């Protein structure tokens, strides 16, 4: 075993950050294509529930993964249809989706309450005591960075996010690209939810995500829409969460609720101090062909 305390802290941070990293990856894809992914929290919640339902009813983690991906695709299609095909204001639809998702997941959870009141089996760690989720997250970050900045399709995707007019003029079908990007983004966010329930707390509760999707949004903002920087932001927030758990456990005389505030206060501080960031030029602007 590695004894050094900071390696310990880093691994704990990575464990806590894994769901954030998946969500941040999803947000990156969507916003690089010019669609604000405010609905990430709701998608994450849907993925979190789907993972547990799949694992319990299907009997194994693979079924849970399948259910998660299916939930991500469905959520992605709904979001993409409303915010890209119609299109509607991306912020408003994102917020509305989060509220709907909170209601629907809580409702389904109650319908299946009898079956779901169990802890799903823990997923054995692969390397350094890290779950497959955490390792996949790291690999995906690097792949995403390479994809966005070194490949042809990555360049085209970024072009859509920077300047829809230019992208359209150069022959890209902006609507298709945004539609596809939102579906991929939602699958990634749903996987973030699965990493939280299946890979970590092993059960579902109402609103289990507790705003982690929004923290991931902050991480992307802090990371200037660059996967590697966003990873570091996720780790900072993960460290906050890990510290919160330890503080709660060792409980140095303080009410544990103070420790639980830590990740959120950290988010506020980091984003506040990070200064203004300039995102993709046309992010948030609905695209309409004349």
Partner 1 sequence: MAGGTVRAAKAVMHNKHVVNMEAITKTFGIVRALDKVTFVLDAGEIRGLVGENGAGKTTLMNILYGMYQPDDGNIRVWNEDVSRNWSPRLAIAKGIGMIHQHFSLISNHTVLENIVMPTLKWGDIVPQWKRFASQIETLCGEYGFKVKLHERSEVLSVGERQQVEILKALYQGARVLIMDEPTGVLTPQQAKSLFELLLRARERGHSVVLVTHKLNEAMAISDRITVLRGGKHIATVEKRSTNPQEIAKMMVDREWISPVMRNQPPARPQFVMEVDGVTIEEKHREPVVENISLSIGAGEILGVAGVAGNGQMELAEVIVGLKKPKSGRIFIGGKNVTRWSIRNRRRAGLGYIPEDRHTHGVITEMTVGENLVLDCVENPPYSQWGITRPWAIDKWAKEAVQSYGIKTPGINVPVANLSGGNQQKVVLAKALSMNPKILVACQPTRGLDFSATEYVRKKIVECAESGVAICLISSDLDELLELSHRIVVMFQGKIVGEFSREGLNLDQLGLLMAGHRSG
Residues in contact with partner 1 by CB under 8 A are 150-153, 155-156, 158-159, 162-163, 165-173, 281, 289-290
Query: Which is closer to partner 1, CB of 125 or CB of 153?
Result: 153
In angstroms, give the least distance from the CB of 141 to partner 1.
18
Euclidean distance between CA atoms 97 and 231, whole angstroms: 26
Under 8 Å between Cβ of 192 and 23: yes
| One-character DSSP codes across 260-277 | HHHHHHHHHHHHHHH---
> Residue 164, exposed/middle/buried by CB under 10 A (0-12, 13-18, 19+)?
buried
Euclidean distance between CA atoms 259 and 245, whole angstroms: 7
In angstroms, give the least distance from the CB of 191 to partner 1.
22
Query: Which is closer to partner 1, CB of 147 or CB of 204?
Result: 147
Query: Which is closer to partner 1, CB of 5 or CB of 150?
Result: 150
Query: Which is closer to partner 1, CB of 157 or CB of 243?
Result: 157
In angstroms, give the least distance from the CB of 166 to partner 1.
4
Find residue 130's DSSP bridge partners.
127
Query: Which is closer to partner 1, CB of 224 or CB of 246?
Result: 224
User: What dihedral do alpha carbons 278, 282, 285, 290 form, nearest 10°?
Assistant: 160
Euclidean distance between CA atoms 191 and 18, whole angstroms: 10
In angstroms, give the least distance from the CB of 80 to partner 1.
18
In angstroms, give the least distance from the CB of 171 to partner 1.
3
Task: Compute φ and ψ for 130, nearest 5 degrees.
Answer: -100, 140
Under 8 Å between Cβ of 161 and 32: yes
Query: Which is closer to partner 1, CB of 151 or CB of 207?
Result: 151
In angstroms, give the least distance from the CB of 74 to partner 1.
24
């Amino acid at each position: 075993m590695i004894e050094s305390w900071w390696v310990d802290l880093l691994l704990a941070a990575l464990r806590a950050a894994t769901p954030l990293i998946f969500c941040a990856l999803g947000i990156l894809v969507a916003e690089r294509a010019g669609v604000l992914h405010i609905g990430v929290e709701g998608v994450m919640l849907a993925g979190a529930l789907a993972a547990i339902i799949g694992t319990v009813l299907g009997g194994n983690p693979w079924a849970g993964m399948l259910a998660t991906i299916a939930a991500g695709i469905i959520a992605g299609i709904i979001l993409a249809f409303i915010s890209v095909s119609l299109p509607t204001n991306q912020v408003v639809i994102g917020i509305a989706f989060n509220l709907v998702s909170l209601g629907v997941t809580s409702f389904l959870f109650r319908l299946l309450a009898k079956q779901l009141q169990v802890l799903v089996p823990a997923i054995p760690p692969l390397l350094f005591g890290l779950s497959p989720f955490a390792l996949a997250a790291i690999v995906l970050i690097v792949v995403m960075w390479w994809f966005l900045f070194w490949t042809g399709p990555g360049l085209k995707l970024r072009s859509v996010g920077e300047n829809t007019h230019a992208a359209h003029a150069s022959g890209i079908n902006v609507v298709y690209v945004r539609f596809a990007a939102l579906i991929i983004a939602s699958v990634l966010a749903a996987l973030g939810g699965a990493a939280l329930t299946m890979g970590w707390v092993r059960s579902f509760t109402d609103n289990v995500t507790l705003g982690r999707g929004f923290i991931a949004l902050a991480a992307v903002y802090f990371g200037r829409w660059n996967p590697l920087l966003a990873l570091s932001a996720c780790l900072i927030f993960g460290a906050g969460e890990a510290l919160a758990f330890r503080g709660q456990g060792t409980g140095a005389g303080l009410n544990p609720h103070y420790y639980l505030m830590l990740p959120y206060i950290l988010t506020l501080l980091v984003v506040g101090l990070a200064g203004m960031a300039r995102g993709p030029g046309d992010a948030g602007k609905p695209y309409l062909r004349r």
